[in-house]
């Protein structure tokens, strides 16, 4: 980190000591297929929040969509929070900026100064909960409604990145209704365009949920059906042979957008799917890998361009492939990247000179400055 950057973060540290203690609501869990990952991320984020600066209000969202108050990280990690007796309701009334709690016949309100949605995937990373915060006029960490929605939807992200002229995998969009009506025509369309293998992805899903690689027609059909379980929109992409490279982005609004050092994913499986990420201990990540030529610099520049193009704010992780000859190819953007023990986003900023506690502080500061 340069002297100017360090000075900026030291200024933030001084300012936080002068601030009155505020209430921060941390939301986690959610109805998406990334529910468990969100709970893992939330435990780490909560422990990193400066509790001399903030009082914590912890709200878990069950897979069924029930909002529950909990009191500790231990309850989150054990799963005991799901049996909580106190229901929570974030009121959209902008004059209140509060959560309504209910236990039996008793109800009470608690004011919220800022929200930290540690939610991955649908109904958390796609602009829906961000819209609720906007209605309630509660400052919140991370990207706004537009950036969250278009970044969650891989198809619309591709449209934006196409306009930037940044290389990405060629693709075919498939609607689930079309696949269910005439699967043969969808298969022919894919085979007319691409040679095997191809990748099949739900347009709206994260942590590689529903993603598969097809080496032949039988696997293509199975992959289409699996992706269709996760979303009504599906992408079939050409296979890119390259190293999986990630870059963290921070800033937005009046603050300059900055990119971290880059990191490389070394998947233990054929590709970095959910099991390879979270269940295979042989998968690992490397910070500041040696890449051909100026590929690292081009990854960083492209990450910043894409973040700005989707109207990003606060944070995002932008993923690429880098080929053997140094070509940089965009893969996807994640506007609420993981904060688990193995997650790349905080790891990359720590390598760039920003400790995790300072990173969380800065993200919350950005929420107030939106």
Q: Taking residues 97-126, report their average pLDDT.
A: 96
Band (pLDDT 50/70/90 cuts) for residue 365 is very high
* Residue 19 pLDDT > 70: no
Poorest-confidence range of 6-10, 57-61, 308-312? 6-10
E strand or H helix at 3, and its extent? helix 3-18
Band (pLDDT 50/70/90 cuts) for residue 5 is low
pTM of the model: 0.88
Residue 268 is predicted with a pLDDT of 62
* Residue 3 pLDDT > 80: no
Q: Are 307 and 318 in contact (CB under 8 A)?
A: yes
Where residue 120 falls (left for φ over 0; alpha for ψ -120 to 50; beta otherwise) is: beta
Per-residue pLDDT reduced to its tens digit, 176-201: 999 999 999 999 999 999 999 999 99
* Residue 269 pLDDT > 60: no
Band (pLDDT 50/70/90 cuts) for residue 8 is low
Could you give the C-alpha distances from 59 to 82, 93, 110, 313, in angstroms and in order?
A: 10, 18, 12, 23
* Residue 11 pLDDT > 70: no
Per-residue pLDDT reduced to its tens digit, 132-146: 999 999 999 999 999
DSSP 174: E
Band (pLDDT 50/70/90 cuts) for residue 204 is confident
* Residue 277 pLDDT > 60: no
How many percent of the chain have pLDDT more than 70? 90
* Residue 13 pLDDT > 90: no
Band (pLDDT 50/70/90 cuts) for residue 271 is low
Band (pLDDT 50/70/90 cuts) for residue 327 is very high
Residue 47 is predicted with a pLDDT of 97
Q: Are 23 and 111 in contact (CB under 8 A)?
A: yes
Residue 209 is predicted with a pLDDT of 77
Place of tokens 């957008």: 257
Band (pLDDT 50/70/90 cuts) for residue 15 is low
Q: Are 25 and 101 in contact (CB under 8 A)?
A: no
Band (pLDDT 50/70/90 cuts) for residue 253 is confident
* Residue 1 pLDDT > 60: no
* Residue 118 pLDDT > 70: yes
Count of alpha carbons within 13 angstroms of residue 68, beta-carbon side: 21
Mean per-residue pLDDT over the chain, rounded? 92
CA distance 105 to 20: 33
E strand or H helix at 295, and its extent? helix 295-309
Taking 3-state DSSP, the helix, strand and coil percentages for the chain, each rounded to the nearest 5, stand at: 40, 30, 35
Residue 280 is predicted with a pLDDT of 44
Could you give the C-alpha distances from 160 to 37, 137, 147, 154, 344, in angstroms and in order?
A: 28, 28, 11, 10, 24
Per-residue pLDDT reduced to its tens digit, 303-313: 999 999 999 99
Reduced to 3 states, what is the DSSP secondary structure of residue 171? Answer: strand
Two structure tokens written together for 341 = 């023990």
Per-residue pLDDT reduced to its tens digit, 38-56: 999 999 999 999 999 999 9
* Full set of structural domains in the chain with CATH: 14-141 (3.40.50.20), 151-168+241-335 (3.30.470.20), 171-238 (3.30.1490.20)
* Residue 347 pLDDT > 80: yes
Residue 145 is predicted with a pLDDT of 98
Strands 54-61 and 22-29: parallel
Residue 281 is predicted with a pLDDT of 62
């Amino acid at each position: 980190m340069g002297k100017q950057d360090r000075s900026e973060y030291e200024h933030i540290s001084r300012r936080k000591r002068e601030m009155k203690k505020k209430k921060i609501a941390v939301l986690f869990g959610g109805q998406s297929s990334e529910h468990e990952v969100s709970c893992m991320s939330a435990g780490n984020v909560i422990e990193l929040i400066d509790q001399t600066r903030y009082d914590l209000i912890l709200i878990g969202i069950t897979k069924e969509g029930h909002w529950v108050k909990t009191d500790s990280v231990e309850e989150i990690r054990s799963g005991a929070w799901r049996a909580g007796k106190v229901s929570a309701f974030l009121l959209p009334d902008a004059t209140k900026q509060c959560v309504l709690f209910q236990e039996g016949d008793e109800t009470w309100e608690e004011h919220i100064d800022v929200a930290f949605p540690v939610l991955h995937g649908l109904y958390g990373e796609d602009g829906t909960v961000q819209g609720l915060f906007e209605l309630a006029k509660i400052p919140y960490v991370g990207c706004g409604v537009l950036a969250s929605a278009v970044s969650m939807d891989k198809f619309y992200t591709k449209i934006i990145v196409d306009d930037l002229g940044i290389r990405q995998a060629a693709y075919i969009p498939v609607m689930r209704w079309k696949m269910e009506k005439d699967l043969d025509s969808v298969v022919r369309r894919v085979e007319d365009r691409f040679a095997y293998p191809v990748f099949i992805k739900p347009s709206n899903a994260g942590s590689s949920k529903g993603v598969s690689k097809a080496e032949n027609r039988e696997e293509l059909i199975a992959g289409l059906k699996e992706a269709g379980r996760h979303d009504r929109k599906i992408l079939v992409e050409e296979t890119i042979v390259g190293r999986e490279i990630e870059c963290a982005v921070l800033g937005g609004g009046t603050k300059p957008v900055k990119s971290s050092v880059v990191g490389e994913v070394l998947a233990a499986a054929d590709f970095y799917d959910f099991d390879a990420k979270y269940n295979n201990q042989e998968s690992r990540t490397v910070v500041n890998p040696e890449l051909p030529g100026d590929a690292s610099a081009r990854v960083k520049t492209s990450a910043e361009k894409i973040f700005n193009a989707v109207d990003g704010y606060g944070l995002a992780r932008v993923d690429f492939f880098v080929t053997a000859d140094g070509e940089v190819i965009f893969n996807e953007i994640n506007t609420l990247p993981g904060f688990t023990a193995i997650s790349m986003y905080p790891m990359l900023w720590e390598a760039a000179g920003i400790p995790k506690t300072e990173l969380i502080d800065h993200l919350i500061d950005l929420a107030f400055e939106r």
